[in-house]
Amino acid sequence: MTPAEIVERALAEDVGTGDVTTSLCVPADRQASGVFRVRERVVVAGVELLPLIYEHIDFQVADGTVLETGQEIARVHGSARTLLTRERVALNFLQHLSGIATMAHKYVDAVAGTGCRILDTRKTTPGLRQLEKAAARAGGVTNHRMGLFDAILIKNNHITAAGGVRAALDAVKHSKLPVEIEVRTRAELDDALAGGATHLLLDNLTPAEAREWIRHINHRATVELSGGITLQTVRAYAETGADFISVGAITHSAPAVDIHFRLELD
């Protein structure tokens, strides 16, 4: 689904047969401007949707811009009725997507200088993955695979269904897509390395365990860590020597940020 289609659906859901409050209270010929402003420190995302919501954009910052309390994201202009009718949809996108970008930025800052990169995941809102991954990218993380179609990630249930680590790796060895495999035990780890794995996912280890496993891997494969890693623990995991850390919370648990809209009559 394209961003334009997502916006169209959101407007149809909210406006329905018409904005009865605005049509009754606001004269049809009244013109106005509107300002979107942040009420806290925010990394902005979702701004590229505003031209799909409003016809006249007088000013807007770029996605990924860091704004301090009180600074403006954008100014829009046009019919007062249109500005008001579309206010909530615009705010919903800006607050949610900027929340993701802001959370992403915090994780990236937390591992600065370690050489470890933060990845997002597929734990996204159904139908909004493209927008949420763009927001995560605006916050500085590296996008993991977009879906089930653009990379191979062999997880524990795939290994079980395939009949083991080596069987799973043998089944995908002729694919031209990137291949990553999750290992849960040292035996699986050695099996994966012997089978030619070049990208390993280590899940639910402590930082001490991760450091030991990464030392054993000894640069024979790139390493991604995942599993309940928080802002409080991510630095310790990054310092184990991991190449990547994937964090589902960036998209599935980022709180909406405080952004408001104020109308100014011409």
Report the amino acid identity of residue 173.
K
Give CA angle at 30 (77, 87), nearest 5°: 50
How far, in Å, CA of 175 to CA of 264, rounded? 58
**pLDDT computed for residue 66 by the predictor:** 98
Relative to beta strand 117-119, strand 222-226 is unpaired
As given in the structure block, the two tokens for residue 25 are: 């209270």
The residues annotated with a catalytic role in the active site are 88, 123, 155, 182, 203
CB 225 within 8 A of CB 205: yes
pLDDT (tens digit, 0 to 9) for every residue of the chain, 266 residues total? 899 999 999 999 999 999 999 999 999 999 999 999 999 999 999 999 999 999 999 999 999 999 999 999 999 999 999 999 999 999 999 999 999 999 999 999 999 999 999 999 999 999 999 999 999 999 999 999 999 999 999 999 999 999 999 999 999 999 999 999 999 999 999 999 999 999 999 999 999 999 999 999 999 999 999 999 999 999 999 999 999 999 999 999 999 999 999 999 98
133, with CB counted inside 10 A (0-12, 13-18, 19+), is buried
**pLDDT computed for residue 266 by the predictor:** 85
**pLDDT computed for residue 248 by the predictor:** 97
CB 253 within 8 A of CB 123: no
Q: Residue 174: what are its φ and ψ, rounded to 5°? A: -95, 0
Residue holding tokens 């909210």?
14
- Domains, the chain, with CATH or none: 3-104+255-265 (3.90.1170.20), 142-246 (3.20.20.70)
How far, in Å, CA of 49 to CA of 64, rounded? 14
CB 94 within 8 A of CB 46: yes
Q: What share of the chain is helix, strand, coil (3-state, %, to 5)?
A: 40, 20, 35
**pTM across the whole model:** 0.95
**pLDDT computed for residue 1 by the predictor:** 86
